Amino acid sequence: MGLLDELQNQMSGAAAGANVNHANGIMELIQNYPGGISGLIQQFHNNGLSGIVSSWIGTGQNLPVSADQIQNVLGSQFVQNFAGKMGISPEHASSSISQLLPSIMDKLTPNGRLPEQSDLMSMGSNLLSSFGQN
């Protein structure tokens, strides 16, 4: 089952539509993060969450991340900017990122390997375009 199928199964109705929008925002976050996906991963390492982010990249079970941990790693300004783009509260933004980011990162790092930035954009585009087809 693909990432977008998994995400859609987690939500239904209007919530699924919001989930698509949030997933798109998270892909933008990953693509535009300073240093790209590697920079985002490094930020998790710098904040003591190496085990969590490594589980998303590895081939085993993805460990969860809390909304508070997302807030600490990304910073309040970043979360507020994401919330503003999504039209939601910063608390909802942190929660949404914490729910979607592990699955997205897992699918973007098949076989435990980081994609090249150009591959990341293509993979993200494919993931997001298939979201609306189900």
Residue 121 lies in a domain: yes
**Alpha-carbon gap, residue 104 to 28, rounded angstroms:** 12
Over residues 85-95, the pLDDT tens digits come to 999 999 999 99
Over residues 42-68, the pLDDT tens digits come to 999 999 999 999 999 988 899 999 999
CATH number at residue 81: 1.10.10.690
Residue 58 lies in a domain: yes
Range of the domain at 29: 19-131
Residue 127 lies in a domain: yes
Residue 27 lies in a domain: yes
Give the chain's domain count.
1
Distances from the Cα of 56 to the Cα of 65, 85, 89, angstroms: 10, 25, 26
Flag whether the pTM goes above 0.85: no
Residue 14 lies in a domain: no
Residue 102 lies in a domain: yes
How far is residue 56 CA from its own chain's centroid?
10
Angle 76-81-82 from CA coordinates, rounded to 5°? 100
Residue 34 lies in a domain: yes
Given the structure tokens 């585009």, which residue do they identify?
125
